[in-house]
Chain A
Amino acid sequence: MNFGFYTLSAALLALFAIPLIIFYFLKLKRPRIELPSLALWRQVMNDTRVNSPFQKFKRNILLFLQLLLLLLLVLAAMQPFWHGASDRAERLPILIDNSASMGALDKEGGATRLQTAKERVARIIDGLLPEQELALISFSNTARRRTGFTNNKRVLREALADIEVEDVPSDIEDALRMAQAMGRAAAFEEVLLISDGNFPDRANFDLSFKLNYQRLTPAGANIGITALNARRSVSGMWDVFAQIEASAESDLSALVEVEQDGARVARDSARISKGKTQRMVFRVSGEKASSISVRLVPDTFDSLASDNTAFLDLPAARSLWVHASTALPAFRHSLAAIGGIFLHPEDGVGKRADRYDLLITDLVPEMEIEARTSLYIGLVPDDLKPLVEIFQAGSGIVDWRRAAPLLQHVELGDLIILDEPRKKADAEEKSFENLGYVVLAHGRRAPLLLEKRSGDRLQYFLLFHTDRSTLPYRVGFPILVSNLMQIAMTEAGISEAHGNRTGMLPPLKLTAERTYRVEQPRGGVVETTADATGAVSAVPAPFTGKYVVKDGNTQVKVGASVLSTSETTLAGAHEIRFSQGLTVGASETPAKTDRSLWKYLALAGCALLLVEWWFFNKRPRGA
């Protein structure tokens, strides 16, 4: 049976019919009207009683209407509902995707995917029965709990209304983990996932509940920018690379406009269809730091607007500041062959940089020199001293990471080393990782080359001295130095620039321990404080556009854009594969929900009252 009552005990309210009937007959007092004569009316009544089968009914129509009204109210109080689903969940977490692709329209002037999802959830909230509880979780690249389990419809509706599209790619795992965490406090069997399916179809998650994956109908055609970066050319200009992709099977065309600091510097047209990638290159000036914005103007309907703009911040052209210890002639000799650098301390620069782009040293005092990228030779950092110890003994490299940027194309086999780092007795491989080190080259008894990133600093530790090895005499040595230079240039941001993605702003170097206001493109404001080194990091950037970071005197503008192939192509996963081999398929039909009927009965009761009022106050016929 698809029909039921939630509060069957409310049927006892029907007992009110007894006093209603009693009071009706006790209190029935008809208005008295004195007439000249009843001669005609008596004949009328006699005739009516004979000919009208409903006369007795009409005599007590007021009682009948009152009983009918009571019946409707009792039925409403019993809270009848119509079963929409075969089984009814008492607690249901609902995961709502609010990533960038959910802002895509189905047609021109139509509804966004998120609006469609909200309508589905709103229907579920409307049909919520008193014993049922919902929890709302929205997710994009991270999940956010909007409500705990509640049956308060007002709270649920307000939370639902607060959900808005964030211009970031989606990641379902975070949302599933949050739902799983909620399940520890309040058990449930099923989770409802409403999304357009634009997330990785593989999830590293052990599913411990039934997942009802409601996939929204695909949005309309879309074209957008999926990548934006720049590389400095030999002439000192910047080559800006923009990647355009589309979601439609048929060709979509758009005009691509490039602006540098607000002035248009290039314009081109793009024509692309699904599965293809169009890369466009624009050459812009690189004399000074500038801000590049690439804007896509589609010729036809474009379902997603947030991926039509991308931003790129280009640093000013400058030489690399390098500090190489004078005790390392091999390194200095190799560096001197590379142009475009200021080599300290003997290069006659005339001044010492506050912070170097590259530091190469084998002296402990010089370890204090500030540099973005550092290579320490034959030096053991303090935190590694409990783990490793250097001995004077012959050694060699057992293995190395050939794909590491520093060691690309560097052959280290048959390298002779007269220093032998040895792990101490209680040191393990994992102990290095726990301290944040990545081992790039292994010796016989301990790591020989380590990498560590701390903040915006990248450090390499060579645990043997190159002067006591054959490394400076190897063909790979200048390659190693060249790799180090490339890494230093990349870290300094003067050789390449990448468009900032939404989600999190890139770390900024500002005044230490000062609080900044970050004005978001849609008007929101957040506050953040720079750390002791002046780094401002972990600033949320959920929307495409320019973010203004400022305090009283300083103002920095940083652009962020979607730059996601999956979001732009509106790819929709038809199924999700979980780590234990489980696969959950998508359903495109909305979940059937229980329909509460009490409000219809209450409306019928109100209508009945109006009918009763009209019936007893209507103008008599023929009057």
Chain B
Amino acid sequence: MAKFLLKRLVMMLLTMLCASFLVFAVCEFTPGSVARKTLGPFATQQQVDILSEKLKANDPLIVRYGRWLGVLVGAIPDPLQDPATGLNFKDPRGAQYFGNFGYSTLSKLPVNDVIWDRLGNTAVLAGLAFLLIVPLSIIFGILSGLKEGGPLDRSLSVICITFTSIPEFASGVFLVTLFVILWPVLPGTSPLNADGGWSVASQLILPVAVLVIYDFGYVARMIRVSMIGVMERPFIRTAVLKGMSMRKVVLGHALRNAMIAPFTVLLLQINFLVSGVVVTELVFAYPGFGRLLLDASLFGDIATLEAATLVTVAIAVTTQLIGDLGYMLLDPRIRVR
């Protein structure tokens, strides 16, 4: 078991290394240099060239990636904070410490000052959505999986397929039209402060609804397939034939078996929600991680983008690991050999 965990941890680290390098490589294609973005559009070409020289931004890709990695693990100080650049970038934590994500050229703040609050806001949003997605999808999935092709299955399936066909920005438009414009009971933006007269709780309803609508149908379909598979198994037939009540068959025998496969699917939704928040946060002006990621990639703020990527990839590989471990706990037949 310890060996398995160790192996998985090494794989996780490798995946994150590869992912961060890929992002670095893709950013090579960005029009405009780091120096230009740091100084703004009104700096002269000469100033840009001087800063590029000081930042060693003309070094080959692999050298710069190595330097970024060195700054991250605290092996070398962040070159952007060097007083010689004249940028006056100061991180209260110092220029050299473990977990130094560098300096955001977009917000002119250390990435560590920008990213964690945003991530917290997004965790609230995605967490609430997840708490609703799990019971909703389980109820829908179990009910439609009870009798494949029956009228209940058909109507629930059509509902689920319809909901998964609504992109977040479209459901945002629909919900805002309904609950903000036609029947004004909810706020149309969610800046997470009470300045507009709306409580923070009321600001969360629509963004959470948008995430739930797009996602729960998909999970319900997965649970449905798994439930159908279980209901066809011999032990269910035996239970029914010996006269057990349908309620007891479903709750006592089918449910746990039907939940094994969707358990991983449910966990993967955490990863999926990270995609979902990008659009949702933009629609509702929610100060979250997804918008930070979007802004950083549009602006070409590599330091922030790298930090955001590492966080999302870390979330993904961690949920995968938890998924595999939970899978083994739920189903004793699948244990590592």
Q: Do A and B bind each other?
A: no
